Copies of this chain bind each other. A is one copy, B any other.
């Protein structure tokens, strides 16, 4: 009968903490209610369903991460902006593995826009438009970065990497590969084609 002062925020933070401790799939209403000091059915005063809660957790995570990225990018531009954005995302994923898992697993079919993807997208588009990279190619670049960063974070979380070689170094090197890729695109645009081995020689079907 005592009245907890719960709001969406507190609930999502508790859910996020649980997800980080247990993993998303083990996030249950029982556990969440216990953590909040209420009985499971009471959660339905705040949340529509467990599935919906996971969806909101995803949106909450993206929003938080979006803010962190924005903050990290004040006064930074160019390659360095991309580099920092990637690092912030990776760090966030390391600190909040469960929430990040939710962010990766649940797509934003519901209205919740994944704003942070949007922010990362802004950065990449801006960087590309400052160079000689078409908008279509910027879209490719964006997809490539998202795939790499999210994929890496998920694999790292699942301990898919042996530990003897520093994981962080691998991540950073990959980011540099991709940044170099953008430079290639740029050069290919300026001087029609680059010298050297960077252009796919024979068997690459179709790349922008």
Contacts and interface: CB of A to CB of B under 8 A. Distances in A.
Interface of A: 25, 79-80, 83-84, 87, 104-109, 114, 117, 136-137, 139-141, 143-144, 146-152, 154-155, 158-162, 165-181, 183-184, 196-208
A152 to B, nearest CB: 4
Contacts of A205: 87, 172
A154 B152 CA distance: 12
A56 B28 CA distance: 25
Contacts of A114: 160
Contacts of A198: 176, 180, 183
Contacts of A117: 160
Contacts of A176: 181, 198-200, 204, 207
Given A107-B160, A170-B144, A154 B154 contact: yes
A173 B208 contact: yes
Nearest to A174: B144
9 contacts: A87-B205, A139-B165, A139-B170, A143-B167, A147-B155, A150-B154, A151-B154, A177-B178, A178-B181
Contact of A197 (B160, B174, B183): B183
A179 B108 CA distance: 32
Contacts of A155: 143, 146-147, 150
